[in-house]
Structure 1
Amino acid sequence: MNEGAIVSIVAMLGWLVLAGSALASFKLGWSRIAQLALVWLAIFAGLFVVADLLGARLPT
């Protein structure tokens, strides 16, 4: 594993901690958090499907 990959993993973990603490500050119940997670998952999955149907490709 190269140094860039390690930095990316550490940065991603930091962002997850930051997002998790922000979510915890709202004091939502577990069922509400699960509901919001499913809604966001559906949004991103829908956008992925639309982009795939339109033939969008990431630049390489």
Structure 2
Amino acid sequence: MSEGSIISIVALLGWLILAGSALASFRMGWGKMVRLALIWLAVFVGLFLIADLMGATLPN
């Protein structure tokens, strides 16, 4: 594992902790959090499918 990938993993964990603490500050119940997570998942999957159908590719 290279130094760059370790830094990326640490940064990702930091962002996840930051996002989790921000979400916890809203004091929502588990049911509402799961529902919102599923909605966001559906949004991103939908956008991915639309981009795939349109033939979009990532730049190299």
The TM-score bracket by the shorter chain reads over 0.9
Relative to the length of structure 1, the TM-score reads: 0.98
1:38-53 alignment, distance < 5 Å: 38-53=38-53
Q: Percent identity?
A: 67
Residue-pair matches, total: 60
Give unmatched runs, 5+ long, in structure 2.
none
Give unmatched runs, 5+ long, in structure 1.
none
Kindly report the root-mean-square deviation, in angstroms, between the aligned alpha carbons of the 2 structures: 0.4
Would you identify which runs of 4 or more consecutive aligned residues in structure 1 move more than 3 Å?
none
Relative to the length of structure 2, the TM-score reads: 0.98
